[in-house]
Amino acid sequence: MLNIFLYSMIREAIPSDKIHILKFCKNTFSWGDYIKDVWDYWISEGKLLVIEKNTPIGICHAVFSINQVWIEGIRINSNYRRQGLASKLIKKVELTAIQKQIPISLMLIDVQNSLSLLMAQNLDYKIYQTWHFYSLLPQKNTNDEIFFGNVIQENEFSHYVKSWRWLPLDKKILFYLDSKNFIVYSSKKGQRTIAILEDSEHFEKTLIVTLFAGSKSNTMNILSFLQNYGFEKNYQRIQILTKESLPKFRKLEHKILFHLMQKLLS
């Protein structure tokens, strides 16, 4: 009998797969799932992989760049879980990355998702960093003086978040972010809190913020700015990703904690 779990059963997704995939990507989390919102984007980007048994039973999306591959959206039909399918999808992505001479693989996992963490660790992924996700509702507000401009030194921070992908924060990216006025900071008493602003590419009227928190007063000032900025720019939601625990602030809600998992491929 043909082994349905060979790599030959993994292929690039096609638009007609969507109806099958969304059937088992409805209640992945307590709040539902986002696959329906990003499917068309991922199809257009490419490297959306499907594993099938007559019909698709699992997916995984990969984003390749010069120095890393980002793995996201791993989903397996509940009827076929615990059969190693997710691991096979990841290994397929890793093989492609190795062929492209990409040295690092990254993925994001909820700290409470013990099964996914165990799977990643069995594939030699290590916890690289831990990140908080906060939501902040836009609201008219005031703040002390905020500055625009790049005050980030090269190699000071490793990554920033763009559309829920952790990307290397290198000199080229810093120049781009600075040229677009996407870097803001609050500086008091020799300390700084820095925020990188990005529009979500997948969700309308959503501002994604990478926050490097410093002192409490600087962080509160940045949060006040972000809230008012979101109000003035007509955003519906502000999503903040940070490695630090943030102080209590009006309309700020801690949502979840993630491990950024890393594997060295070479």
Q: How remote is the C-alpha of 50 from its chain's centroid?
A: 20
Question: Is the predicted pLDDT of residue 211 greater than 60, yes or no?
Answer: yes
The 3-class secondary structure across 173-194, one letter per residue, is: HHHHHHHCCCEEEEEECCEEEE
Short-list 185, 179, 172, CA closest to 225: 185
| Domain range 133-259, CATH class | alpha beta
Identify which of 151, 139, 172, 136 has the alpha carbon closest to the alpha carbon of residue 249: 136
Round to whole Å and give the CA distance between 200 and 206: 6
Give the whole-angstrom CA distance, residue 50 versus residue 29.
20
Position with higher pLDDT, 156 vs 27: 156
Q: Which has the closest alpha carbon to 210: 159, 141, 251?
A: 159
Query: What does the DSSP assignment read for 184-242?
Result: EEEEETTEEEEEEEEE-SSSTTEEEEEEE--SHHHHHHHHHHHHHHHHHTT-SEEEEEE
Q: Tell me: the pLDDT tens digits for 8-30?
A: 489 999 999 999 999 988 877 66
Cβ(181)–Cβ(148) below 8 Å: yes
* High-pLDDT (> 70) share of the chain, %: 96
Residue 29: DSSP 8-state: B
Residues of the chain with CATH 3.40.630.30: 7-102
pLDDT digits (tens, 9 = 90+) for 160-210: 999 999 999 999 999 999 999 999 999 988 899 999 999 999 899 999 999
Work out the average pLDDT over 111-119: 95
Query: What proportion of the chain, given as a percentage, has pLDDT over 90?
Result: 83
Q: Tell me the average pLDDT of the chain.
A: 92
CA-CA distances (angstroms) from residue 263 to 123, 130, 157?
8, 15, 19
Options 3.40.630.30, 3.30.910.20, 3.40.50.720, 3.40.1390.10; CATH for 7-102 is 3.40.630.30
Tens digits of per-residue pLDDT, 49-89? 999 988 899 999 999 998 999 999 999 998 888 889 999 99
- Contact at 8 Å (CB) between 230 and 119? no
Helix (H) or strand (E) holding 95: helix 85-99
